[in-house]
Amino acid sequence: MSRALARLGASRGALKASLCTQATPSLLVRPSAARLNPTALARPCARFYSAAPAPPPAAAPRARRALLYVPGSNVKMLKKALSSSDADALILDLEDSVASNQKGAARSNVYDALQTAGPSTRSQLFVRINSRELGLDDLEIVLKSPHLDGIVIPKVDTPEDVRRVDRFIEEHGLEETKDKLKIVASVESPLSLLNLKEIATSSKRIDSLLFAAEDYCASSNLVRTESRLEMLFARSSVVTHAKAFGLSAIDLVRTSYKGPEALKGLQDEAEEGRRLGFDGKQAIHPAQVQTIQTAYTPSEKEIDRALRMLAQYDAASGGGAGAYGLEGEGGSLDMIDAPMLLQANKVLAQAKAGGVDLEKFKEAHKE
């Protein structure tokens, strides 16, 4: 027993010595010092942090902040949306916005609209099909268009709802485009929420999870309120599962769209969605698009902070520091380390995807 304890003590001593020789004190670097001398180092922190490499820049995929629904039964709206909409994505709808006796005509309308897509079409083009077997009838028509970017599947309760569509795309999709088609799964029920892991991994084409608030509230007997607290668990579950499996998360629709109160409510809702981790939000009227896309684009203040964090990391890491202090408002210092650098890179990736000219910000930092 005594020999075992001695060996354990020696191992702990060796580990402690190893950590002491490898660890580098974290140093607080004020922006002014870093600008004057990149290797200038201020007072050391009480804790020690091992030096860590800066996370690689996050990828900048094409933004999908506002997803605007366009009724498939309205030819005029379809033409206008495809020719002039600024929404990152259009969802040409064959489901809820189309009366049952108009389904066939709407399919033809949507296919014709897809075929008119050209240089003036700035939006990604999705089609929301009907659920179950009726959706396969929709797919038989819309899959013929090479301009289709993806399919929104409504009422996805189980992974089989996704696999059915996935198999149909594989068997009937155009050879030149079917491997690029994305699937957006709509979460509309408690059963869907319980099956999120299986749904998120049901197809290689799954790209996003979309939260359909009105359907979810109806199926869950929730009372919809302006606070949205009754949906917080469901919305957070959608985000958590989306991020766990590398998917995008699309937030709920704001049903009111006219008047200053509706606009203020939309802005609050969109900003809240972004804070919860959503990547975009559904829209039911063109008047909602700009507000949503602004809310889901990092602000100048966020971009400036992200650039300062990365610039000061370069200065601090030159002296071996793995964490450092970033001067904030009022002269306060915020501790910055690797996870926060990852967040900074994501902010810049979101800004770039949203069309922000980051070079202008970088030039301003050089001055």
Q: Helix, strand or coil for residue 71? A: strand
| Axis crossing angle, helix 103-115 with helix 75-84, rounded to the nearest 10 | 20
Among 76, 78, 79, 83, smallest CA distance to 94 is for 78
Q: What topology is assigned to 66-295 in CATH?
A: TIM Barrel (3.20.20)
Instruction: Give the torsion through C-alpha atoms of 97, 102, 103, 106, to 10 deg.
Output: -80
Whether 247 and 207 have beta carbons less than 8 Å apart is answered as yes
What tokens does 121 get? 């079409």
The segments of the chain whose pLDDT lies below 50 read 1-60
> In angstroms, what CA-CA distances link 220 with 188, 190, 192, 236, 276?
9, 6, 11, 16, 21
User: pLDDT tens digit string along 245-304?
Assistant: 999 999 999 999 999 999 999 999 999 999 999 999 999 999 999 999 999 999 899 998
CB atoms < 10 A from the CB of 239, how many? Answer: 22
Which pLDDT score, from 0 to 100, does residue 309 have?
Answer: 83
Whether 40 and 312 have beta carbons less than 8 Å apart is answered as no
Which pLDDT score, from 0 to 100, does residue 222 have?
Answer: 97
Give the containing element (helix H, strand E) for 45. Answer: strand 44-49
pTM for this model (two decimals):
0.79
**Extents of the domains making up the chain:** 24-58+299-366, 66-295
Q: Annotation-wise, does 363 bind a ligand? A: no
User: pLDDT tens digit string along 200-225?
Assistant: 999 999 999 999 999 999 999 999 99
Q: Annotation-wise, does 188 bind a ligand? A: yes
Q: Annotation-wise, does 215 bind a ligand? A: yes
Which pLDDT score, from 0 to 100, does residue 320 have?
Answer: 61
Which pLDDT score, from 0 to 100, does residue 324 have?
Answer: 65
Alpha helices, DSSP H only, in 116-250? 132-142, 159-172, 190-194, 196-200, 213-220, 232-244
Which pLDDT score, from 0 to 100, does residue 355 have?
Answer: 86
Whether 26 and 47 have beta carbons less than 8 Å apart is answered as yes
